[in-house]
Amino acid sequence: MINIALLQTDIKFCDGEFNHKRVRAMIDEAMSSKKRPDMIVLPEDWASGFSDEMFHNIEKFVEPIDGPSVKVLKGCAKKHRVWIVGGSIGTQFEDGRRNTTFLINREGEIIGDYSKMHLYSDMDEDAAFLHGTSMNVYDTELGKLGFMNCYDIRFCELSRIYALKGADGLVIVSNFPNPRLSHWRTLLLARAIENQIFVIACNRVGESPMGTYCGHSIIIDPWGNIIAEGGDDEEIITGSVDFNEIEKIRSTIHMFRDRRPETYSDVLLKPNK
């Protein structure tokens, strides 16, 4: 069994020092529990918050790859000997800026990253960041993990690619707002059931210039059963997953065997008119 802690934080807008201190304290709290987590997950933009105002002044908010927010996470991972999925951080790469999640191992080393692929154009997120293009599945001591970020959950193609690449779990970081709680829960349940995969999703709570956020960070098994779910306040949500269950479920309903990609692949490649 893999023990997981989701840090459902109330992010203070554009106050990195406060957010760093709060996350350190929440990680310390999570690691002091009797059932110590093997993996800790943070929400999207955990160090700064999220708004369209930022996107038009994004150069003030991005950090280098080894900037202060990543250093906080690397230090916590090494201190507690725990895997950390570092929410996401606006990151400056050589070729431009991306909204990037970092996977950090127990030694405090970055062993993988995922840059948000589907950027929310209705808020000009695509004007601030480059679209991510990589869909890597990372084979860790915990299991095979694929990553998504907030708006990505509306795109079933991405989660299916991860499933076809052999992922055991989809780890999702988010700033999902009110009043779309029903969308959040329904889409995540669908991604789990349709791919026969575990979904591990961490959302934020609180307010920003954009409005309020719905929380309800959640862990879902491949049957669509909810293992753990938060409310709408700041809290640490914990649950355990057994990736060995995937094989049993897929041998009961042979969905992947019964797919017909040769029939519908051409349709999926056609642009929506």
What DSSP designation does 141 have? S
User: Which stretches does DSSP call E strand in 132-217?
Assistant: 138-139, 144-149, 169-173, 198-202, 205-208, 211-214
Residue in the structure block whose two tokens are 């000997």: 81
- Among residues 12, 44, 63, 74, the one annotated as catalytic is 44
**Is 150 tagged catalytic?**
yes
Selection from 65, 165, 171, 167 nearest residue 110 by Cα: 65
User: Which stretches does DSSP call E strand in 43-105?
Assistant: 63-64, 83-85, 89-93, 96-104
**Is 107 tagged catalytic?**
no
- Among residues 76, 150, 202, 214, the one annotated as catalytic is 150
Give residue 122's identity as a one-letter amino acid code: D
What DSSP designation does 142 have? S
The answer to whether residues 129 and 90 touch, using CB atoms and an 8 Å cutoff, is yes
Give CB contacts under 8 A, 24+ apart, made by 241-244.
241/1, 241/2, 241/4, 241/169, 241/198, 241/200, 242/1, 242/2, 243/2, 243/143, 243/144, 243/168, 243/169, 243/198
**Is 94 tagged catalytic?**
no
- Among residues 116, 125, 202, 214, the one annotated as catalytic is 116
User: What residues are labeled active site?
Assistant: 44, 116, 150
